[in-house]
Amino acid sequence: MLTHEENERLTRIEGDAPMGQLMREQSWIPACLSFQLQADGAPRRVRLLGTDYVAFRDTRGRVGFLDEACPHRNVSLVLARNEDCALTCIFHGWRIDVTGQVIEAPTHAPNAEAFASRIRTRSYPVVDAGGLIWVYLGEGAAPRFPHLPFTVLPERHVWVTATECACNWLQGVEATLDTAHIGTLHRSYITSLAANNDANTIGQTLGALAPGYEVEDTPYGIDASGLRPLPDGSTYVRTTRWVLPFVSLVPGNPGQSDGVIFIVSPVDDHNHVLFFGHWSLESPMHDGKYERMPETHASIVGDRPFDIENFGGFTGGRDDSWGQDREAMKNGHFSGFTGNLLQEDTVTQISMGPIVDRTREHLSSSDVAVIHARRALLRALDNVAAGRPPVGDALPDDLSDAHPVDRILPADRASADAR
Ligand code: FES
Ligand SMILES: [Fe+2]
């Protein structure tokens, strides 16, 4: 349980809220799916930390990330034409390139060229990696991009979707650290996944609903290990690596993937985008078209037509219980959210309200990782306020070896060996 003040400190990210400042100055923020920006395609509005930006890919494939307003008289550049290596504002035709430089100002005479050369709008550094566009919104020089296990793989080894979620960023993050819900909320999908995959280990979550936890502070955030004793004396261990503040690398499932991506993009106080996906070290997961779930993941898909840009979406809202299907529940579906596994996550988080009131919780032993993460975030805010890095001496600039772990520990191994 938190105090009201702590809940506000942790959740608010708009304006000059300290958590928003921490994200802006310290983090590369995931902004959209890479393929959502096509060369000369429609510019895309991206909202982060309560501010709107425009992102586009120019004729030569370079990504631009700019303030949304045209530097002339502030018409939205989301409306602009994207052609000939620049955005052309539809109001008066000023042209702005990926660096934010105005390269043509046809409404000015004489000396339009000299006039244009003196005007630029703010542009932000971007990295295109792991199927995502990442942006640095801070004031100073961008820190080195901290590569993750999936951002160093070939494009086809990573498969990632987006879902807009109408609730605060921290709800999205906490769900990824809460391994205890897998065997309950996702019971129906995990049952079918276990039945269809002999190599699976995640099926073990069904029989152990109260996992033990070992949580360790790391130079990037925390490692959270869920420990589930099995009938033969062995222990099923799942270790999620959480890179503060919003990247969770969750164990994959043998025969399916080597890791699961859960990354929360902080849109504003009441919205986030959840990037969910998988990576495979050895083999490609898709053919470059991204049109459907990889075959290996068919068991987490229900009756919702596949939509990579709104994978965990649903119809309806609070008034109709977000489309929950009571008939399906009678017939054996546990949650009644038959769309797909991710839909179960998005609906439960959104049902808590736009910002959950954490003064009203009753936490249990399964919430240890969530509690640790909150403490780490509060500490990070204190550190930044005191002029220190958010975690430890500095956030590492290469995390490509930080693989999540999914394994069975034999009976004769102490749990301290879990990681
Ligand atoms: S407002 Fe964009 S060119 Fe005038
Ligand atoms: Fe979940």
Ligand 1 pocket, CB under 6 A: 70, 72-73, 75, 89, 91-94
Say if residue 127's pLDDT is above 70: yes
292-334 per-position pLDDT tens digit: 777 777 778 889 999 999 999 999 999 999 999 999 999 999 9
Tell me the CA–centroid distance for residue 162 and ligand 2, in Å.
Answer: 15
- The per-residue pLDDT for 195 is 80
Q: Which ligand is nearest to the CA of 105?
A: 1
Say if residue 205's pLDDT is above 80: no
Q: Give the end of a domain, one of 135, 170, 185.
A: 135
Residue 127 included in any domain: yes
Give per-residue burial for 213-223: e unless 16+ CB within 10 Å, then b: bbbeebebbbb
Say if residue 217's pLDDT is above 80: yes
Best of 67, 68, 73, 77 for a ligand 1 pocket test (most atoms within 8 Å of beta carbon): 73
Q: Are 100 and 184 within one domain?
A: no
Tell me the CA–centroid distance for residue 117 and ligand 2, in Å.
Answer: 51
Say if residue 291's pLDDT is above 80: no
Minimum-distance ligand 1 atom for the alpha carbon of 77: 2
Q: Are 39 and 187 within one domain?
A: no
Tell me the CA–centroid distance for residue 52 and ligand 1, in Å.
Answer: 17
Task: Report which DSSP code applies to 308.
Answer: T
Q: What is the mean pLDDT of the chain?
A: 93
Tell me the CA–centroid distance for residue 87 and ligand 1, in Å.
Answer: 11
9-26 per-position pLDDT tens digit: 999 999 999 999 999 999
Residue 220 included in any domain: yes
What tokens does 110 get? Answer: 């004489």
Residue 404 included in any domain: yes
Task: Out of 36-50, 169-183, 223-237, 281-295, pick the least confident.
Answer: 281-295
- The per-residue pLDDT for 413 is 65
Q: Are 120 and 198 within one domain?
A: no
- The per-residue pLDDT for 176 is 94
Q: Are 248 and 329 within one domain?
A: yes
Q: Residue 160 belongs to a domain with what CATH number? A: 3.90.380
Residue 86 included in any domain: yes
- The per-residue pLDDT for 395 is 78
Report the alpha-carbon distance of residue 170 to residue 168 in Å, rounded. Answer: 6
What is the mean predicted confidence (pLDDT) over 257-266? Answer: 95
Tell me the CA–centroid distance for residue 75 and ligand 2, in Å.
Answer: 40
What is the mean predicted confidence (pLDDT) over 282-288? Answer: 87
What tokens does 48 get? Answer: 């982060």
- The per-residue pLDDT for 90 is 98
Only one residue has tokens 């808590």, namely: 352
Q: Are 377 and 265 within one domain?
A: yes
Residue 241 included in any domain: yes
Minimum-distance ligand 1 atom for the alpha carbon of 105: 3
Q: Give the end of a domain, one of 135, 163, 187.
A: 135
Best of 78, 91, 103, 115 for a ligand 1 pocket test (most atoms within 8 Å of beta carbon): 91
Instruction: Give the residue whose CA is nearest to atom 1 of ligand 1.
Output: 73
Give per-residue burial for 312-344: e unless 16+ CB within 10 Å, then b: bbbeeeeeeebbbbeebeeeebbbbbbbbbbbb
> Which residues are 83's β-sheet partners?
86
Domain that holds residue 190: 155-417
Question: In percent, how much of the chain has pLDDT > 70?
Answer: 97
- Report the DSSP pairing between strands 102-104 and 247-253: unpaired
Domains identified in the chain, total number:
2
381-394 per-position pLDDT tens digit: 999 999 999 998 87
Say if residue 64's pLDDT is above 90: yes
10 touches 4 (CB < 8 A) = no
Q: Are 38 and 174 within one domain?
A: no
What is the mean predicted confidence (pLDDT) over 373-401? Answer: 93
255 touches 197 (CB < 8 A) = yes
259 touches 278 (CB < 8 A) = yes
Q: Are 63 and 171 within one domain?
A: no
Minimum-distance ligand 1 atom for the alpha carbon of 92: 3
Best of 54, 94, 104 for a ligand 1 pocket test (most atoms within 8 Å of beta carbon): 94
Residues with CB under 5 A from ligand 2 (ion): 345
What is the mean predicted confidence (pLDDT) over 256-282? Answer: 95
Q: Are 120 and 176 within one domain?
A: no
Instruction: Give the residue whose CA is nearest to atom 4 of ligand 1.
Output: 92
Which residues have a Cβ under 8 Å from the Cβ of 360 and sit 6 or more positions away?
Answer: 1
Please return the burial class of 283, using the count of CB atoms within 10 Å of its CB with bins 0-12, 13-18 and 19+. exposed
Residue 17 included in any domain: no
Residue 391 included in any domain: yes
Tell me the CA–centroid distance for residue 181 and ligand 2, in Å.
Answer: 6
Say if residue 255's pLDDT is above 90: no
- Higher-pLDDT residue of 50 and 211 is 50
User: What are the respective helix, strand and coil percentages of the chain, to the nearest 5?
Assistant: 30, 30, 45
Q: Are 225 and 167 within one domain?
A: yes
Say if residue 50's pLDDT is above 70: yes
Report the alpha-carbon distance of residue 85 to residue 39 in Å, rounded. Answer: 9
Q: Are 170 and 126 within one domain?
A: no
- The per-residue pLDDT for 136 is 98
pLDDT band at 416 (very low <50, low <70, confident <90, very high): very low
Is the pTM here over 0.85, yes or no? Answer: yes
Q: Give the end of a domain, one of 101, 135, 169.
A: 135
Residue 328 included in any domain: yes
Q: Residue 40 belongs to a domain with what CATH number? A: 2.102.10.10
Say if residue 267's pLDDT is above 80: yes
3-state secondary structure of 189: helix
Q: Are 177 and 87 within one domain?
A: no
Cis omega before residue 110 (within 30°)?
Answer: yes
What is the mean predicted confidence (pLDDT) over 118-133? Answer: 97
Q: Are 36 and 181 within one domain?
A: no
- The per-residue pLDDT for 210 is 74
Please return the burial class of 309, using the count of CB atoms within 10 Å of its CB with bins 0-12, 13-18 and 19+. middle
Tell me the CA–centroid distance for residue 346 and ligand 2, in Å.
Answer: 8
